[in-house]
């Protein structure tokens, strides 16, 4: 069996919150213990829509700092910025010769993201899946974690790899396998159990930020919207109670337990008892993350060194495949 190698990218966003942690970052932290992992900040993907340059710069640093603060170990996983490894953009261009317009036209995510103004969308947004194919194929990646919405893009990467290998008569690119994770935790707003916790919600009380201190966390959880009933004994009892379901789900995710486990402990108790327990749990788990985030922000050189080291490793891993791709094409 070939060596297992996993790659995953994340778009840089700022003002990270509990939803980003439980829905995205934490999965990486777990994955790095399960095999060789490359994680990158998808800054080249980010520019397919317009970003204020200063905001983008800031978001890239925030996301990098958050990943390290949340537990990505740069000695264990290769953590880097995509733009620091030019081979991503180079291989993308080479693969543009292989990818077919008809294939890209079938990508449902472009249709959703471009909306009604398809003619006004950037070429980058349209060709985004080819860059994703390059991200993955560049490292002979064997496994790629994908959500429902990304399955089609990984299929495309496999089609591009197969066509390239066939067209040029080489066994160059490894066909990556999708790793379908369990349903990602979806964290809802503390003010409205039917809306996603999001940085774009104007109310700061709606979310737990990764930078919140213990007192702020306790107060946000205490003031979270709930109904007057005590917690049910079973998960079925959460039906039609989105706020209760959300808080129980958060408690479960933070303790690697199931909602049923949480209800086995707290069923029958009111929110007057459950909220302080949840607040303390969050404060104790997120406290060290906030602390490390502060350190990394106060010491930009440390973060720069981590990213430089990751980029160096990634460039070394990418070089042979890029060279082989050029050679196969006669360049």
Q: Which residues are part of the catalytic machinery?
A: 113, 196, 199
- Considering only 16-24, 133-141, 254-262, 294-302, which stretch makes contact with ligand ADP by CB under 6 A? 16-24
Between the alpha carbon of residue 143 and those of residues 67, 150, 172, the distances in Å are 20, 13, 16
Closest CA relative to residue 137, chosen from 166, 104, 164, 119: 164
- Residue 252 CA to its chain's centroid (Å): 20
Residue nearest to ligand ADP (CB): 23
Name the residue nearer to ligand ADP (CB basis): 83 or 199: 199
Least distance CB 315 / ligand ADP (angstroms):
26
Q: Which two tokens stand for residue 324?
A: 């082989």
- CA 2 vs. chain centroid, Å, equals 26
The Cα 195–Cα 146 span in angstroms is 23
| Residue with smaller CB distance to ligand ADP, 148 or 171 | 148
Site membership for ligand ADP, residue 140 (CB under 6 A): no
Can residue 113 be called a binding residue for ligand ADP (CB under 6 A)?
Answer: no
197 near ligand ADP, rule: CB under 6 A: yes
d(CA 241, CA 229): 10
Q: Report the nearest approach of ligand ADP to the CB of residue 184 (Å).
A: 6
Looking at the Cβ atoms of 194 and 200, the one nearer to ligand ADP is: 200
Q: How far apart are CA 224 and CA 237, in angstroms?
A: 19
Strands in 78-81's sheet, in edge-to-edge order, are 78-81, 36-41, 5-10, 143-146, 177-180
Confirm or deny that 149 is annotated as ligand binding: yes
Q: Does 199 bind ligand ADP (CB under 6 A)?
A: yes
Closer residue to ligand ADP (CB): 24 or 311: 24
Binding residues for ligand ADP, rule: CB under 6 A, are 13, 19-20, 22-24, 184-187, 196-200
Per the annotation, binding residues are: 11-13, 19-20, 135, 147-149, 187, 196-200
């Amino acid at each position: 069996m070939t060596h297992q190698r996993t790659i995953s990218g994340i778009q840089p966003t700022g003002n990270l919150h509990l939803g980003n942690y439980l829905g995205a970052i934490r999965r990486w932290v777990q994955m790095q213990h399960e095999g060789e992992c490359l994680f990158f900040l998808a800054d080249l993907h980010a520019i397919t829509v317009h970003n204020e340059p200063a905001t983008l710069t800031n978001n890239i640093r925030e996301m990098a700092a958050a990943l390290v603060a949340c537990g990505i170990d740069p000695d264990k996983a290769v953590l880097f910025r995509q733009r620091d490894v030019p081979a991503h953009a180079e291989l993308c261009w080479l693969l543009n010769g292989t990818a077919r317009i008809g294939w890209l036209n079938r990508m449902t995510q472009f249709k959703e993201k471009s909306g009604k103004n398809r003619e006004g969308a950037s070429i980058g947004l349209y060709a985004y899946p080819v860059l994703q194919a390059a991200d993955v194929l560049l490292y002979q990646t064997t496994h790629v974690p994908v959500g429902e919405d990304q399955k089609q893009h990984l299929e495309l990467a496999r089609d591009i790899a197969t066509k390239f290998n066939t067209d040029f008569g080489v066994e160059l690119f490894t066909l990556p396998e999708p790793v379908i994770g369990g349903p990602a935790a979806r964290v809802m707003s503390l003010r409205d159990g039917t809306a996603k916790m999001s940085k774009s919600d104007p109310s700061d009380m709606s979310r737990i930020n990764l930078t919140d201190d213990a007192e702020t966390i306790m107060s946000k959880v205490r003031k979270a919207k709930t109904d007057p009933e005590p917690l049910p004994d079973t998960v079925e009892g959460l039906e039609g109670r989105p706020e209760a379901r959300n808080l129980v789900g958060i408690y479960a995710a933070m303790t690697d337990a199931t909602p049923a486990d949480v209800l086995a402990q707290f069923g029958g108790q009111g929110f007057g008892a459950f909220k302080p327990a949840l607040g303390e749990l969050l404060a104790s788990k997120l406290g060290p993350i906030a602390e490390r985030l502060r350190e990394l922000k106060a010491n930009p050189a440390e973060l720069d060194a981590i990213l430089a080291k990751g980029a160096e490793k990634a460039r070394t891993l990418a070089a042979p495949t890029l060279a082989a791709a050029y050679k196969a094409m006669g360049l």
